[in-house]
């Protein structure tokens, strides 16, 4: 049976051709995942680096790789989710979904026909890629940026046009992205604030970009981490409300609201944009518990403010610790920090994992010296700092790499 499965797989691969497979594999993260595997060689490398013992296997690992909220969801959101499980687990969401959609539209001063709910923001990014891009109109994305589009587009043999971040401040190079959008016209993806760099784009630059982009190009602004910026954040929701025709704003309940496991995201745009996307969403893509929890969370501004304050405090302390260690990092407006120990991603990643049970972010091929660390509890971050300190004082096992 196993052999047969292997055969089928091989013949599909044969059809794809080696170069295509490698591009697909790279795009879909297979190569990256292979790099994550804890092989004997990695263990030896870390053992040679210093003599402190490896993390004991019976201890829990600390996952700082997916920017999950270390505080979880608010008590009110949890209670609403649990009540929905008790009352509605056997029922499709139907009117609860409509009620949530109407309230969400009300919350933003939009028409319900301007909003689409998704099984997390990622479903909406996939749908936008499917609907607005083709091989002739590939998406224009920053590099590095959140990987969803560069994962899903190649499944349809669409190769995103990547524009490297600016070397000065690691921000999106909006000028070059705009020029690329003029050539390709499909979709321009902006992540604000950006995962994985943590950088923020201000009102002037964003408004200018959206004004100058060709009308046929849909600008997708991913605001997954918007709430962490706090007051003063310029949200493109304002431009949707003002009637911008070719704009889609994506948000999620996975980050500051602490509901990543319940999978609720949404996007807002002009009615024709939402209409074009809505047929592609899975029927009943939102579950009852997620809907109820997100609905309650939407009105809990005090929880959002509290999370924002906690995040800023942890980030400030962590970055101060990095500075004390002389570790370079990109100033972040989010719930993670992109830092560089000066060693390869592999060396830092494996050291954190094998010596301290810390799972840090995936390799970023275009920034091979950098590693993204999500902000966890204060105790987690102190643990990371002490590991980084030990790493700094151990001899490099590989040649230093440059950006």
Residues lying near ligand PLP in the complex (CB under 6 A) = 67, 120-122, 146, 191, 195, 222, 224, 252, 254, 260, 265
Question: Are 286 and 308 spatial neighbours (Cβ–Cβ below 8 Å)?
Answer: no
Nearer to ligand PLP, 256 or 358 (CB): 256
Q: Which is nearer to ligand PLP, 195 or 314 (CB)?
A: 195
Least distance to ligand PLP from the beta carbon of 67, Å? 5
| Residue nearer to ligand PLP on the CB measure, 46 or 206 | 206
Residue number, 286 or 387, with CB nearest to ligand PLP: 286
Q: How far is the CB of 255 from ligand PLP (least distance, A)?
A: 7
Nearer to ligand PLP by Cβ, of 254 and 287: the residue is 254
C-alpha dihedral over 339, 344, 346, 352, to 10 degrees?
-50
Contact 59, 248 (CB under 8 A): no
Q: Is 164 exposed, middle or buried (0-12, 13-18, 19+ CB in 10 A)?
A: middle
Listed in order, strand segments (DSSP E) in 95-168 are 115-118, 139-143, 161-164
252 vs 344, beta carbon nearer ligand PLP:
252
φ and ψ of 189, to 5 deg: -105, 125
How many residues in total does the chain contain?
A: 403
CA separation for the pair 314, 379 (Å, rounded): 10
Is the CB of 42 or the CB of 222 nearer to ligand PLP?
222
Return the exposure string of 257-267: e unless at least 16 CB atoms fall within 10 Å of the residue's CB, then b: bbbbebbbbbb
Estimate to the nearest angstrom the gap between the alpha carbon of 217 and the chain centroid. 22
For residue 157, the number of C-alpha atoms closer than 13 Å in the C-beta half-sphere is: 6
Q: Quote the tokens at residue 265.
A: 């995201």
Q: Are 332 and 225 in contact (CB under 8 A)?
A: no
Pick between residue 362 and residue 369 the one whose CB is nearest to ligand PLP.
362
Whose tokens are 């440059």? That residue is 402
CB 219, CB 210: distance < 8 Å: yes
CB-nearest residue to ligand PLP:
120
Q: In the complex, what is the shortest distance from the CB of residue 195 to ligand PLP, in angstroms, rounded to a whole number?
A: 4
For residue 215, the 8-state DSSP code is T
Nearer to ligand PLP, 290 or 357 (CB): 290
Helix axes 75-88, 288-298, angle to 10 degrees: 150
Pairwise CA distance, residues 335 & 66, whole Å: 10
CA distance 39 to 35: 9
């Amino acid at each position: 049976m196993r052999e047969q499965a292997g055969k089928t797989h091989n013949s599909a691969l044969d059809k794809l051709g080696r170069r295509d497979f490698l591009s697909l594999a790279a795009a879909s993260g297979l190569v990256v995942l292979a790099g994550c595997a804890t092989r004997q060689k990695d263990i030896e490398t870390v053992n040679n680096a210093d003599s402190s013992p490896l993390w004991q296997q019976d201890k829990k690992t600390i996952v700082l790789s997916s920017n999950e909220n270390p505080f979880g969801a608010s008590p009110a959101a949890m209670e609403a989710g649990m009540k929905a499980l008790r009352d509605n687990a056997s029922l499709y969401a139907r009117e609860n979904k409509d009620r949530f959609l109407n309230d969400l539209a009300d919350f933003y001063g939009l028409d319900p026909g301007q909003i689409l709910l998704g099984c997390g923001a990622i479903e909406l990014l996939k749908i936008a890629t499917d609907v607005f891009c083709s091989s002739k109109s590939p998406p224009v994305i920053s590099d590095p940026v959140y990987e969803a589009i560069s994962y899903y587009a190649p499944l349809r043999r669409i190769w995103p046009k990547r524009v490297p971040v600016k070397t000065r401040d690691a921000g999106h190079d909006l000028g070059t992205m705009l020029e690329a959008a003029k050539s390709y016209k499909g979709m321009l993806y902006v992540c604000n604030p950006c995962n994985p760099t943590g950088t923020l784009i201000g009102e002037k630059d964003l408004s200018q970009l959206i004004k100058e982009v060709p009308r046929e190009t849909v600008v997708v602004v991913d605001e997954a981490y918007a709430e962490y910026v706090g007051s003063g954040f310029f949200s493109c929701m304002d431009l949707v409300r003002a009637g911008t025709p070719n704009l889609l704003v994506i948000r999620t309940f996975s980050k500051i609201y602490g509901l990543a496991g319940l999978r609720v995201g949404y996007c807002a745009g002009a009615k024709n944009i939402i209409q074009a996307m809505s047929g592609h969403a899975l029927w009943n893509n939102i579950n009852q518990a997620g809907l109820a929890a997100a609905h309650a969370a939407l009105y809990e501004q005090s929880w959002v403010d509290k999370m924002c304050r906690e995040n800023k405090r942890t980030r400030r302390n962590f970055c101060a610790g990095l500075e004390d260690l002389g570790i370079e990092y990109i100033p972040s407006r989010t719930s993670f920090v992109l830092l560089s120990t000066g060693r390869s991603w592999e060396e830092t990643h494996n050291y954190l994992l094998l010596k301290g049970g810390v799972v840090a972010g995936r390799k970023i091929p275009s920034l091979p010296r950098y590693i993204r660390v999500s902000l966890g509890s204060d105790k987690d971050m102190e643990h990371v700092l002490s590991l980084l300190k030990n790493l700094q004082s151990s001899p490099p096992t590989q040649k230093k790499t440059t950006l």
